[in-house]
């Protein structure tokens, strides 16, 4: 299955660095496609062949077309340049479980150009998905591929679990309003202005592989009601730092051209921008509130807990946060309490039955049979 992407793939001025890999990919995976081949001016072909007679540099940026997302990977920074997705209400349904997935190297990225899990250990940065695992529930293999390190970058922990997570949920919720939603996300390295007025780009690198930590993240969203309508679009630049609930998503909305200039990429090039509408004007771009996020988090915890004691502790936290009166949460709590009560009773009864059986078996083996001598009984028990 291939995802649909409006307007083709994101293209950048540095994408030719991975051109040979791009051509090889299409030759291997899709013979029906017209190959992209570099052109030269008439009369220069022999000179170019001479220049590249010992081979041309390969790597730089590599295109990866996975089952449910497409990305371009920066071999030097060890992070994705852009990651594109297509969301629909149907594509978000499924039973895939992120607990079964593991962060690991992308088999399509050469090992010497890949980040490693150890690079993140003790770094203070989380492994941030650009294509969220929650967008690939339709298939376990789809979800597993979102854990490839080619889809991951160092992200502030609070940002990853907080504002950025709420933004990802917002993108999924858009499928209730739009038939098709396209999302492209990635890193930015933006300059700071020093006291002397000069600009400088400073960023941290982590681990033995010097994985680059972006200063900001971007997200470009396109929504379409149906095939016969124009599209709505919004672009955002988000600091890679903690953001509390006082920040509104519209605080970070910028013209698409600004993201393109900073990223060195053109997004959705086949889109008629003159006919696009402001997605935030249509939807409000309202992220979930703290109370709404608490409900989602505690609902998940209540569903996953396996003991009554743990369930009771979680419910005390719910009461302390003042959301115990939420009807759905209260119903879920009572249902889980009943289910766990039955399960634990069945487990106790099973253990009691097993112990009784063991005692009965022991009694059978220790009671001397009638008409058998003590010595003969011991011999029989030993077999």
pLDDT band at 345 (very low <50, low <70, confident <90, very high): low
At residue 365's C-alpha, the angle toward residues 364 and 369, to 5°, is: 75
Say whether both 158 and 29 belong to one domain.
yes
Closest alpha carbon to 215 in 240, 251, 234? 240
152 within some domain: yes
Top pLDDT among 237 and 36 is at: 237
Q: Domain total for the chain? A: 2
- Say whether pLDDT at 356 is over 90: no
Average pLDDT score over residue span 62-70: 97
CA 298 from centroid of its chain's CA atoms = 21
376 within some domain: no
pTM, entire model: 0.79
Cβ burial of 31 (10 Å; 0-12, 13-18, 19+) is exposed
Calpha distance 56→110 (Å, rounded): 17
At residue 253's C-alpha, the angle toward residues 142 and 206, to 5°, is: 55
- Say whether pLDDT at 188 is over 90: yes
At residue 186, what are phi and psi to the nearest 5 degrees? 180, -175
Average pLDDT score over residue span 3-12: 60
Average pLDDT score over residue span 331-347: 85
Q: C-alpha distances in angstroms, 345 versus 158, 162, 313, 333, 382?
A: 40, 39, 20, 18, 37
Q: C-alpha distances in angstroms, 136 versus 70, 142, 166, 187?
A: 13, 6, 17, 21
pLDDT, one tens digit per residue, over 130-153 is 999 999 999 999 999 999 999 999
Domain boundary among 287, 314, 335: 287
Please give the pLDDT value at position 4.
54
374 within some domain: no
Please give the pLDDT value at position 10.
73
Residue 129: active-site member: yes
Calpha distance 371→381 (Å, rounded): 15
pLDDT band at 343 (very low <50, low <70, confident <90, very high): confident
pLDDT, one tens digit per residue, over 69-78 is 999 999 999 9
Please give the pLDDT value at position 46.
86
Say whether both 277 and 323 belong to one domain.
no
Please give the pLDDT value at position 28.
40
- Start-to-end Cα distance in the chain: 62
pLDDT, one tens digit per residue, over 233-290 is 999 999 999 999 999 999 999 999 999 999 999 999 989 999 999 999 999 999 999 9
Average pLDDT score over residue span 283-302: 93
Domain boundary among 235, 254, 287: 287
Say whether both 265 and 189 belong to one domain.
yes
Say whether both 332 and 302 belong to one domain.
yes
Q: C-alpha distances in angstroms, 342 versus 220, 325, 349?
A: 48, 25, 10
Indicate which CATH number applies to the domain containing 175.
3.40.570.10
Say whether both 279 and 359 belong to one domain.
no
Q: For the chain, what percent of residues have pLDDT higher than 90?
A: 66
278 within some domain: yes
Please give the pLDDT value at position 359.
64
Please give the pLDDT value at position 348.
67
At residue 165, what are phi and psi to the nearest 5 degrees? -60, -40
CB 192 within 8 A of CB 238: no
Average pLDDT score over residue span 43-53: 84
The range of the structural domain enclosing residue 309 comes to 292-366
- Where is average pLDDT lowest: 99-113, 127-141, 258-272, 320-334? 320-334
Say whether both 351 and 235 belong to one domain.
no
Please give the pLDDT value at position 15.
45
Say whether both 170 and 31 belong to one domain.
yes
Calpha distance 19→297 (Å, rounded): 44
Say whether both 235 and 332 belong to one domain.
no
pLDDT band at 41 (very low <50, low <70, confident <90, very high): low
- Say whether pLDDT at 36 is over 60: no
333 within some domain: yes
Average pLDDT score over residue span 207-234: 94
Say whether both 320 and 179 belong to one domain.
no
CB 149 within 8 A of CB 120: no
- Say whether pLDDT at 379 is over 50: no
Calpha distance 376→383 (Å, rounded): 11
Concatenating the DSSP letter of every residue in 355-371 gives HHHHHHHHHHHHSPPTT
Q: C-alpha distances in angstroms, 194 versus 197, 199, 235, 238?
A: 5, 6, 27, 21
Calpha distance 154→212 (Å, rounded): 7
Top pLDDT among 350 and 214 is at: 214
254 within some domain: yes
pLDDT band at 14 (very low <50, low <70, confident <90, very high): very low
State which H helix or E strand residue 233 sits in: strand 231-239
Cβ burial of 18 (10 Å; 0-12, 13-18, 19+) is buried
Top pLDDT among 7 and 236 is at: 236
Please give the pLDDT value at position 321.
86
332 within some domain: yes
Domain boundary among 236, 254, 287: 287
6 within some domain: no
- Say whether pLDDT at 29 is over 90: no
For 340-363, b where at least 16 C-beta lie within 10 A, e where not — what string? beeeeeeeeeeeeeeeeeeeeeee
pLDDT band at 376 (very low <50, low <70, confident <90, very high): very low
Top pLDDT among 301 and 147 is at: 147
Say whether both 276 and 362 belong to one domain.
no
Q: Which of the following is catalytic: 129, 247, 248, 365?
A: 129
Closest alpha carbon to 113 in 149, 167, 138? 149
Mean predicted lDDT score pLDDT of the chain: 85
Say whether both 226 and 329 belong to one domain.
no
Say whether both 227 and 315 belong to one domain.
no
Please give the pLDDT value at position 35.
38
């Amino acid at each position: 299955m291939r995802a649909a992407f409006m307007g083709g793939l994101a293209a950048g001025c540095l994408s030719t660095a991975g051109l040979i890999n791009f051509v090889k990919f299409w030759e291997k995976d899709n013979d029906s496609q017209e190959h992209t081949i570099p052109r030269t001016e008439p009369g220069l072909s022999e000179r170019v062949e001479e220049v590249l007679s010992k081979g041309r540099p390969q790597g730089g940026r590599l295109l990866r077309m996975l089952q449910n997302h497409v990305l371009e990977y920066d071999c030097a920074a060890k992070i994705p340049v852009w990651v594109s997705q297509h969301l629909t209400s149907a594509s978000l349904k499924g039973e895939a479980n992120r607990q079964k997935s593991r962060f690991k190297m992308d088999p399509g990225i050469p090992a010497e150009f890949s980040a490693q899990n150890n690079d993140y250990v003790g770094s203070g940065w989380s492994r941030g998905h650009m294509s969220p695992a929650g967008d690939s529930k339709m298939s376990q293999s789809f979800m597993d591929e979102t854990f490839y390190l080619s889809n991951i970058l160092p992200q502030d922990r609070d940002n990853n679990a907080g504002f950025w997570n709420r933004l990802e949920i917002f993108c999924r919720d858009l499928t209730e309003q739009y038939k098709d939603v396209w999302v492209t996300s990635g890193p930015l390295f933006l300059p700071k202005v020093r006291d002397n007025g000069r600009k400088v780009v400073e960023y941290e690198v982590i681990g033995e592989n010097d994985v680059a930590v972006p200063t900001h993240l971007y997200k470009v969203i396109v929504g379409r009601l149906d095939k016969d309508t124009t599209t709505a679009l919004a672009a955002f630049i988000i600091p890679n730092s903690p953001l509390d609930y006082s920040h509104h998503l519209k605080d970070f909305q910028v013209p698409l051209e600004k993201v393109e200039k900073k990223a060195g990429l053109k997004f959705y090039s086949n889109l008629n921008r003159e006919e696009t509408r402001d997605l935030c004007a249509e939807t409000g771009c309202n992220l979930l509130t703290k109370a709404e996020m608490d409900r989602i988090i505690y609902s998940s915890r209540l569903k996953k807990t396996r003991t009554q004691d743990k369930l009771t502790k979680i419910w005390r936290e719910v009461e302390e946060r003042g959301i115990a009166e939420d009807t759905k949460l209260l119903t879920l709590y009572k249902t889980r309490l009943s289910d766990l009560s039955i399960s634990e009773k069945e487990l106790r009864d099973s253990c009691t039955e097993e112990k009784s059986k063991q005692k009965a078996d022991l009694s059978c083996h220790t009671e001397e049979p009638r008409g058998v001598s003590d010595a003969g009984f011991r011999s029989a028990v030993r077999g």
